[in-house]
Structure 1
Amino acid sequence: MSESDWLEKEFKNIEFGDKRLRDRFFSMANIFSRRPDETINKVVVNFADKKATYRLFSHKNFSSDKILFEHRESTSSRLQNESVALMIHDSSFLASIQKDL
């Protein structure tokens, strides 16, 4: 399954009150899914797309809560058909401590 197919299936019910916001979300999610460890400035090279990405993130109808809610709903739905589910969790963290030399 491609990233695009997975995103469409995972977030099929997501709504932001405007089809353009939804389309932009899927467009940006497709781009970021290919390079999840990079910043917006590295992933989105075109200035107009960069500006559109920041506009999307700051729009009053757009929120990470909506994205996480739909992701939880899709995950819960998938788990209904499984007898066993593994939850992998990375609890590691990095600490940056600067010492005077």
Structure 2
Amino acid sequence: MGWGEEEFKTIELGDERLNRRAVLLAERLGQKPSASIPGACQSWAETAAAYRFLRNEEVSWDKVLAPHLQASQARMAQHQVVLCLQDTTELDYHGQDIAGLGPLNYEAQRGLYLHPTYVVSPEREPLGVFNAWTWAREFKAADGKRGGPCESTRWIDGMDSPCFLRHIGALVFIGVEIRSLNKRSPT
């Protein structure tokens, strides 16, 4: 059994073919984590199937992440101390025609924010990812203020997650300040 089969053995997307595709896609992307989907897949047919999978309405962020969360909790249970690393980063899609994007730190850029909690042992063994929130900021109003929920609550929400509250040992939360993956500077 490959790592993808083990990690996603409880995935339930409503169709066994979708379940198998999720496992295969996870394994392909895991083998080449910095590659694009076409670069990670082994054929054009596999690439086309990956894009069909991602467009399928039965496939959602929560459904795909659920088996990973279960497997991560099992790994966490094997450690008395777990480090929970939180960070927020920008996903810059500037110049791409994608609905639902919002402004980034530089108001003219468009994208999403991602705030995951990465869980590791004190020995740096990766245990999983929890609470990977994504959101688009609202645009500033005429008065210069931005609407929407207070973004700083994501740090507290991460610590209040039920998956962490079930852990018997010590949890150490470490936060990292917002940073941008985009190297461009505003002009």
Q: Flag whether TM exceeds 0.5 (same fold).
A: yes
Match of 2:18 in 1: 21
TM superposition shift of 1:29? 1.3
Say if 2:130 is the partner of 1:43: no
The AA in structure 2 aligned to 1:43 is A
Counting matched residue pairs gives 97
Identity in percent: 30
RMSD: 2.3
Match of 2:182 among 91, 95, 100: 95
Q: Normalised by the size of structure 2, how large is the TM-score?
A: 0.45
Match of 1:32 among 11, 29, 34: 29
TM superposition shift of 1:5? 3.0
Say which is worse superposed, 84-93 or 26-35, in terms of deviation: 84-93
Say if 2:146 is the partner of 1:59: no
The AA in structure 1 aligned to 2:50 is T
The AA in structure 1 aligned to 2:183 is S
Unaligned 5+ segments in structure 2 are 88-175
- What is the rounded CA distance, in whole Å, between the counterparts of 1:40 and 1:93 in structure 2? 23
Structure with bigger RCO (C-alpha 8 Å, 6+ apart): 1
Summarize the Cα distance change of 1:98–1:87 in structure 2 as closer, same or farther, 3 Å threshold: closer
Which structure: larger Rg? 2
> Deviation digits for residues 68-90 of structure 1, max 9, x if unmatched?
22212221222223212233556
Q: Which structure: greater helix fraction?
A: 1
The AA in structure 2 aligned to 1:82 is H
> Deviation digits for residues 23-65 of structure 1, max 9, x if unmatched?
1111111111110111112222522111111000111111222
Q: Which structure: greater strand fraction?
A: 2
Q: Normalised by the size of structure 1, how large is the TM-score?
A: 0.77
